[in-house]
Amino acid sequence: MEKKKYISLIKVKRMIALVTGATSGIGKATALLLARHGYDMIITGRRQERLDILSAEIKKISNAHVLSLCFDVRRQEEVTKNIQSLKENWSKIDVLVNNAGLAAGFSAIQEGVIDDWERMIDTNIKGLLYVTRIVAPMMIKHGKGHIVNVGSIAGKEVYPNGNVYCATKYAVDALNRAMRLDLLQHGIRVTGIHPGMVETEFSIVRYNGDEERAKKVYAGLKPLTPEDIAESIAWALTRPAHVNITEIVLTPTAQGNATTAVRKA
Active site residues: 165
Angle at 215 between CA 211 and CA 216, to 5 degrees: 125
DSSP assignment letter at 264: -
Pairing of strands 146-150, 40-45: unpaired
Contact 122, 74 (CB under 8 A): yes
The CB-side HSE value for 94 (13 A sphere, CA atoms) comes to 15
Alpha helix positions (H), 3-47 = 25-36
CA geometry: angle at 215 spanning 199 and 159, to 5°?
75
